[in-house]
Amino acid sequence: MSSQTDYDFVRDTYPNLSEQERVRVDLAAAYHLIEHFQMSDSIYTHISARVPGDNEHFLINPYGTRFGEVKASELVTIDLDGTIIDDPCDMGANPAGFTIHSAIHGARHDVKCALHTHTVAGVAVSSMQTGILPLNQWALQFYHGVSRHKYEGIALNLEERERLVKDVGPENKTLILDNHGLMTMGENVGEAFTLMYNLERVCKVQMSVLASGQPVQPIDSDVCELTYQQYKHFAEISQRGGFHAEWLAYLRLLEKVSPTYKE
């Protein structure tokens, strides 16, 4: 994997930032990108990032802000027990968001960012027993490595964390929350966002294909496996990780359409 440090994705763009400042900028950028690409759900859903070098604390959005309003300096710092460490806006954190994200960060130390959405296409696919179908090249990125977690109601019961962690498993970075939505995880914010961007497109295409009522053109299973391995190989061999170039491109986009994220 990349020799780059976990939160180095904006170093080239913002060379004077500390590691913690960089992850704040990255995380705020992810919120703005989710809003820009119309994957937000009012003030609900959440994206979190582990505090660099710290397995006990993570950053999350102030509860009540639209994703396009999130600023790097206003992110909430919370520990795995739910204690608010820093809350510049005095708005707290979404309780359901705490349940889900504390579960991931408490169990998966390889995960530095977790991103959860409730999009129309994502919720639709999460409501299907088939899950993600291998209908096209995009979908084959998710041919393996996708976990599912049974719906238990709004995630306010902290006891659900143990079952969620068990369902996610030790390695997968994509999770379908049944009847609820989607989650992606990454070794940095850029990876988690890019996985979600790709996953959302897969869900949109799947629902469009199914709605067409037309016969589906199948892909041979050996080609499905080959394509999945090609996606995996691309992410592993890139000099700084397979998502670095895309992430910098997204940051350049935000400089034009929503530059307040880094404040």
The answer, yes or no, to whether residue 92 has pLDDT greater than 50, is: yes
The answer, yes or no, to whether residue 43 has pLDDT greater than 80, is: yes
Query: 186-190, 205-209, 254-258: which has the highest mean pLDDT?
Result: 205-209
The answer, yes or no, to whether residue 239 has pLDDT greater than 70, is: no
Burial of 109 (0-12, 13-18, 19+ CB in 10 A): exposed
The answer, yes or no, to whether residue 10 has pLDDT greater than 80, is: no
The rounded mean pLDDT for the chain is 92
| Pairwise CA distance, residues 210 & 216, whole Å | 9
Measured distance between the N- and C-terminal CA atoms of the chain, rounded to whole angstroms? 31
Lowest mean pLDDT across 42-46, 201-205, 216-220, 235-239: 235-239
| Pairwise CA distance, residues 59 & 79, whole Å | 9
The answer, yes or no, to whether residue 188 has pLDDT greater than 50, is: yes
> Which domains are seen in the chain, by residue range?
19-258 (3.40.225.10)
Element holding 182 (H helix, E strand): strand 181-186
What is the pLDDT confidence band of residue 65, given thresholds at 50, 70 and 90?
very high
